[in-house]
Amino acid sequence: GAVVSQHPSRVICKSGTSVKIECRSLDFQATTMFWYRQFPKKSLMLMATSNEGSKATYEQGVEKDKFLINHASLTLSTLTVTSAHPEDSSFYICSARGGVTGELFFGEGSRLTVL
Amino acid sequence: GENVEQHPSTLSVQEGDSAVIKCTYSDSASNYFPWYKQELGKGPQLIIDIRSNVGEKKDQRIAVTLNKTAKHFSLHITETQPEDSAVYFCAALYDYKLSFGAGTTVTVRA
């Protein structure tokens, strides 16, 4: 099946720095990608919808200036956590819609730890 | 928006027995219902899905049923094996977005 790759899988950073997470669709073009946040032992919470060539659509309560999303090409979306703080520590997961069926494929997730 | 409820939150079964997880959704406009398996530290993996024009779908030991009238759908795993132990999430697609259930932690006892 289709593969979605996320990088890095784990990142540790100091408070106040910015961190970029990449999400790539490896064998299909994805006009739409989604970013989720998952707390330990909790479900996936949709943060934003990323559309190639246009601004991302953020869910209610998600700070767009804190979580910058860029979808510059049909195979790459990035999530930048700006001025990270310990409360931003979480598991971030992207998904991409693609293929003939329009099925959603998930990346392996990125574990962010802010010290 | 869509609201998906999932039960039970934890499920322990003896190896070889069946496991059933149930979900309900709120919006009758939802038309796609995938199930995901998530192992520790990894992203969700699609294991089976069903569309609103189908009542049942089976793939080897895994089956999903959908009752549109009652707005609920279920995952059935037969002949469970230790490698089936994971967290399972149901989801419903509404307005091009997936809403997830809270998850079920399945433990298969050897």
Six-digit token pair at B26? 């709120």
Enclosing H/E stretch for B4: strand B4-7
Rounded to whole angstroms, how far apart are CA atoms B45 and B8? 20
Total beta-carbon pairs less than 8 A apart between chain A and chain B: 43
Are the Cβ atoms of A104 and B103 closer than 8 angstroms?
A: no
pLDDT single digits (tens) B68-102: 999 999 999 999 999 999 999 999 998 888 999 99
Q: What is the DSSP letter of A59?
A: P
pLDDT at residue number B54: 86
H helices within B1-110, ranges in order? none
Quick check: A101 pLDDT over 70? no
Are the Cβ atoms of B46 and A93 closer than 8 angstroms?
A: no
Quick check: A1 pLDDT over 70? no
Task: Confirm or reject contact between A103 and chain B (CB < 8 A).
Answer: yes
Calculate the average pLDDT of chain A: 92
- Helix, coil or strand: residue A92: strand
Restricting to A residues 28-87, those with a Cβ less than 8 Å away from any Cβ of B are: 32, 34, 41-44, 46, 49
Are the Cβ atoms of A106 and B44 closer than 8 angstroms?
A: yes
Mutation target vs A (from B2, B7, B96; most A CBs, 10 A cutoff): B96
Mean pLDDT of the A82-110 span: 89
